[in-house]
Amino acid sequence: MKKYFEATIDKIIPNPLTKVYETWINPDLLQHWFGPAGHIVIDASFDVTINGKYTISMKAPEGKTYTLTGKFLEIIAYEKLVYTWQWDQIDLGNYEIIVTVKFLPENNTTRLVIHHKKFLQEDQCEGHKVGWSGSITRITEYFKIHPYN
């Protein structure tokens, strides 16, 4: 039996759930915060429907471009997204894995629980934990500058 690795990130975003969810699914807003520090989203497109596809391309600080693709498997608006995740680079894990994002209201903040599963290698799992932590820091900073989108 094949061993898989999983990553879970559980953070509070100090903004209302509706704003966090909308910022997550809107590629024009996602480009401002997605990815680890120093990475810049250069293109993003989303079809937020069941089996709808998404693509995110970002440029790393050293200039290399990384492209992520997937499709939405489950959508419960303002509550939960489940989607596939596949990089076009072998070193990042060029195989399909699954991301579940839960948006949970807590007072006037949002508890964000990201569960990323089916990693084949532990180092890729750990790298994605770092990436998600960077994204959470960046979305929090984005909301400090743009509190109402």
* 91 — pLDDT class (breaks 50, 70, 90): low
pTM of the model: 0.92
- What is the C-alpha to C-alpha distance for residues 120 and 11, in angstroms, rounded to an integer? 25
pLDDT at 92 over 60: no
pLDDT at 134 over 60: yes
Task: State the average pLDDT for the chain.
Answer: 92
- What is the C-alpha to C-alpha distance for residues 98 and 56, in angstroms, rounded to an integer? 16
The pLDDT tens digits of the residues spanning 50-62 come to 999 999 999 999 9
The pLDDT tens digits of the residues spanning 93-124 come to 567 899 999 999 999 999 999 999 988 889 88
Report all structural domains of the chain as residue ranges with CATH numbers, in order of start. 5-145 (3.30.530.20)
Model pLDDT, residue 50: 98
Q: Which residues contact 51 (CB under 8 A, 6 or more apart)?
A: 71, 72, 73
